[in-house]
Structures are given as C-alpha cells and as structure tokens.
Amino acid sequence: MQMFREEVVRLLSDLVQLDKQELAMDLETPPSSEMGDFAFPCFKLAKKRRQNPAAIAADLVNTLPCSNYFEKIEAKGPYVNFFCNRELLANTTIKNILTQGKAYGQQTLGKGKTIVIDFSAPNIAKPFGVGHLRSTVIGNSLYRLYQALGYNCVGINHLGDWGTQFGKLIVAYMQWGDERKLEKQPITYLYELYVRFHSEAEKDPRLDEEARAWFKKLEDGDAEARALWQRFRDLSLTEFKRIYNLLGVEFDSYQGESFYNEMLDGTVDLIEAKGLASISEGALIVDLSEENLPPCLLRKQDGATLYATRDLCAAIYRQQHYNFTKMLYVVGADQALHFQQVFTVLQKMGYEWAENCVHVPFGLIRYKDGKMSTRRGTLVFLEDVLTKATELAKEIIQEKNPGLANKEHVARQVGIGAVIFGDLSNDRIKNIEFDWDKVLDFTGETAPYVQYAHARICSILRKAESWPAPYDATLLTNAEEQNVVRLLARFSDVIFRAAQTYKPSLIARYVLDVAAAFNSFYHQCPVLQAEEASRNARLALIDAVRQVLVNGLYLLGISAPEEM
Ligand code: ARG
C-alpha cells in the first residue's frame, strides 16, 4: 500500500498547498472496499479556501492527472476516493510478501531513534499478579511493533526490588524463616512470609518499627541486610525468568528500583538545588498544587526514599544513558496519578524530554470461574494461569487431533497463545473478564482460531507438491481473492497505527480479519483442485496469507505452529 499511498500524495501535492507528510497523515482508509482504498478528506482545504468541501472534492477529481496506479478516482461528498489498480495491487503485494518473508511489514520510520519501554516490573516478594501479565504481554507487543517500525528498542524490567517491604521481609525471615521452603518456592514462600508479617504486625506494632529500621540498614549498606536482600532477589528473579521463558519475552535490562540506590541522593539534591523541594509534615516533597496535583513525595520523615524518587532518578538516568526519543511506561491505570506527578516534576526541573514520557495504562483483568486452582489462596498466580491454559489446550488437541506429533509443545504454543491473545485482543484500557471457554474456542475470536487458519494453510502447502512455482497474481480477480489481497496490503499501515496508538489490539483484530478472509476465500475457491494457472496464483495467495499471519502473530508475541 505504501507505494500507492505515495502516489496519492504525489498526485495531490501538485494541486493543493499542503505539506507532503501532512497529506500522507490525512489520508484515511474508507470503511468499506466499495468506497475505495484511500480517502482524502477535503475539510482542511475547505477551511483554507473558504469553500465547500464537497465542491473541492469534485474539483480535485476533475483536475487530477491520470495515473495507472488507480483504476478509479471519484468524489464522494467531502472525500476524494482512490481505487487501486487491482492487478497492480495483487502483483506487488504478493511479490513483496513472498520475497520479504519475515521482514514484510517492517518500516524505516524509527531509524536512528531509540524508544525505551518500561514493562512487566513485578515486585520481588509481593505477589506477581496478573496485572504484571498484562504489562508483560502489552509491553512485549509494543516492543515488537516499534522494532518493526525500525526503532532501536530498549526493554527495561524496572523490578520492584527495593522499598520498605524488604525491611518487613527481613524481619519476617529472621523470625520465622525456613531455608528449605525458600529454596523450593521462593515467590510463594516470600509472599507467605509477607502476609504473615502483616497479620502479626497488626497484633504487635513493634514489628513495623523493626522493619523500618531494617530497611534503613539496607539503604545504608548493612552487610547482613544486603545479603538477605540479594538472596531474595536472586531466587525470585530465577522464577520470573522461567515465566518469561514460557511467554517468550526478553528484556534488555533488569535494572530495577535498587539499581538507583546510589544515585538517589544526587537526584534529590538536584531537585532541591532547583528550588523545587519543600518540607511538609516532616517529609521532603515537591509541591504540585499549581498543577492541581497532590505533592510528590521524595523522602519520608525518616529519610527513606520512595517509589516516586526512584522513578525520577531512573528517568533522568535513562535519558542520559539511552538518549531516547520516547519512553513508554506500560503500567496499570491505577498508577496514572503517580506518572502524572513524576512527569510534572521532570517538567518543572526543566527537562524538555519530559513530554516524550508516556504512561501507557491498562485496565484490570479478572479470571472468571473456578477452573483456577485456589490452593494458593485467593490470588491468581501467573504461572498457574499458563499451566492451566496449556492443560486445557492439550485436552482439546487430544480430542481434535490425537495423532499429532509434538503434542506437548503445540499445546504450550496454543494455550499460552490463547492467554496472550485473550488479553491483547481487548481494548487496552478496558477491564477484562477472562473466560477460559472463550479464549480457547477454536471458532471464536481467539488465538487458536488464527493459529488454526495458519496450520490449515501449511497443510495445503505441504500437499501441493509443485509449490513454489511461477505464478501470475493478476489472475486473482474474484471478490474473495481481492478481499484477501487488500487486507494483506494493509499490514504495514496497521502496524504503524497500532504502534502510534499503543494498541496491540489493532494487530489482534487484523489477524482475525485475515484469518476470516482466508476462510471465506477457501470456502469459495478451490486451490489444489483448480487448473494450473489459477492454482499457482492461489497457492501464492495463501502462502502470502501464511506469512502475514506468522508476522502478525509474532507482533503479539504468539507462535504459529505448522500443525495443530
Ligand atoms: N513494580 C511496580 C508495580 O508492580 C511497577 C513498576 C512500573 N515501572 C515504573 N517505572 N514505575 O506496581
């Protein structure tokens, strides 16, 4: 589509006084194919020329030069609609996909630019909640989307590995700790200790004081405190990494909150030197009342730093270290205020780059029904979710395709894919109710549905002994074929929009549409049974669909098994 878009811009820019880039941005995709492939809205011009937009549209159509890229250009109300030359579109699209393979859809827009993506960031010794799963899959998808746009991406896991909870944990471990239990299931066990600490501290408030004292020791570098903290961190991280492995997620950095420990004084000094800090009720704060925000806390009464202090420090460090053009924080919507405060303080400090920091919020997720094991209490643990999904997928595969080789592996790809898709296919900001029956349904709007379309194509291609062969894509003229081609051609546009709006759901929607378009094509048009010329054109078409499904699922962080 890019080549056609450029042609539209070229044709129009001779006639209207608009910047080419602006023109390209203004182009819309009409809601249905009967209205063409691109629509140019004339409202801006109408304002400029003080003319009726429909009159401008009609005028433009009459004066636009001919181009063999388009078979029709027509005015429709205030829009000029462009219809791509079908043969040219089919030819270039299929050829591009089959020659570019995995790279199809990739762009160069972000070349030379760095984007930092802060995502996942579970807290050590606090429950690795399903909220962290959301952040992990959304962040991972944004990472891949921006990479596809050509950006240099830096994925940072800002681990919650510092804070008063470590004081509590040290106290709890010293009092009730059991080395063997810690080794065996660090995350669960540390959480148990954490919960126990809270219930005992209710009865005995001295425990809280002790915990504060231990955290202070930790901040001051006390060897015993450090050693315990290090152990908790290492053990937890090993477990987290197992989960990331299951999900296929990687990070460029695990510099969590503790990493900034040595730099915090410097950050606080800097804020004070800029005259932004003041004392309120014994605590050091940045007053944000002018911005209508509650104050940002830098230091508690006892001198201990806070989550916000560490985020301020981290942002400044990352700007210096990575020189990013953009930094995304993929964190639940419940932290919106925190990020507003942090970004505002950065602005007040005079950092222009503060406006390139974006909080990418998301809603809550709830796992419906009793299929989840409750043996670990009311809390849903991420690993249990993934294990459960894999088990359910295995049952389904057992039923549908008992002879499948690699059942275990495929079940994992399908089960975990279903969990990821069940998350990403929803509007990011909405709360989701996660329903096992729905996400694993092979006929619903699910990962298995898309994966199944892909596996089906692989099976057809395996049977087509003569493929790959020379083909003529201009033979793809019927409505189903053209519908598929048109969708495939849109891939890079969709990537661009999904990245720009931080919405992986657009890619999820897109792969569903591609799978559905393939299914209705396959329902109408024989492939292997068609006569040779048409068979080869259709094989080329479905091979292209296969590639785009693989690439699209990859952007979501989902694998595409060849058989299932
Ligand atoms: N650990 C935090 C939490 O679980 C999320 C951290 C997000 N990243 C950040 N830079 N604040 O709530």
Report the pLDDT value the prediction gives residue 164, as an integer from 0 to 100: 84
**Taking CB atoms and a 6 Å cutoff, what residues make up the pocket around ligand 1?**
118, 121, 123, 158, 160, 311, 329, 331
* CATH value of 2-84 in 3.40.50.20, 3.40.50.300, 3.10.440.10, 3.30.1360.70: 3.30.1360.70
Averaged confidence pLDDT in the chain:
93
Q: How far apart are CA 108 and CA 250, in angstroms?
A: 23
pLDDT at 371: 45
Instruction: Dump pLDDT digits (tens) for 223-262.
Output: 999 999 999 999 989 989 988 999 999 999 999 999 999 9
Q: Sheet of 79-84: strands edge to edge?
A: 38-41, 79-84, 70-76
- Stretch(es) of the chain classified as CATH 3.30.1360.70: 2-84
CATH number for domain 114-258+323-371, candidates 3.40.630.40, 3.40.50.620, 3.30.470.20, 3.40.50.970: 3.40.50.620
Q: If you count them, how many residues does the chain have?
A: 564
Task: CATH 1.10.730.10 in the chain: give the residue spans.
Answer: 384-556
Name the residue of 166, 251, 335, 342 whose CB sits within 8 Å of the most ligand 1 atoms, as the mutation to test its pocket.
335
192 CA distance to ligand 1 middle (Å): 21
Q: Is 472 helix (H, G, I), strand (E, B) or coil?
A: coil
- Distance, in Å, from the CA atom of 4 to the CA atom of 41, rounded to the nearest integer, reads 17
Q: Which of 337, 283, 350, 278 is nearest to 311 (CA)?
A: 337
Please give the distance, rounded to the nearest whole angstrom, from the Cα atom of residue 310 to the centre of ligand 1.
Answer: 10
pTM of the predicted model, to two decimals? 0.93
CA of 329 to the centre of ligand 1 (A): 8
Strands 70-76 and 38-41: unpaired
DSSP 152: E
CA of 126, closest atom in ligand 1: 4
For the residues 111-129, what does the mean pLDDT come to?
Answer: 89
Residue 188 pLDDT exceeds 90:
no
- Quick one: tokens of 335? 């932290």
Of 490, 498, 466, the residue nearest 544 (C-alpha) = 490
State mean pLDDT over 285-299. 97
Name the residue of 307, 331, 337 whose CB sits within 8 Å of the most ligand 1 atoms, as the mutation to test its pocket: 331
CATH 3.40.50.620, the chain: domain bounds: 114-258+323-371
| Nearest atom, ligand 1, residue 332 CA | 12
* pLDDT, average across residues 502-531: 97
Query: pLDDT per residue over 21-30, tens digit each?
Result: 889 889 999 9
Domain 384-556 has CATH 1.10.730.10: yes
- Report pLDDT digits (tens) over 360-406: 999 987 766 544 433 344 455 677 788 889 999 999 999 999 999 99
Helix (H, G, I), strand (E, B) or coil at 224: helix
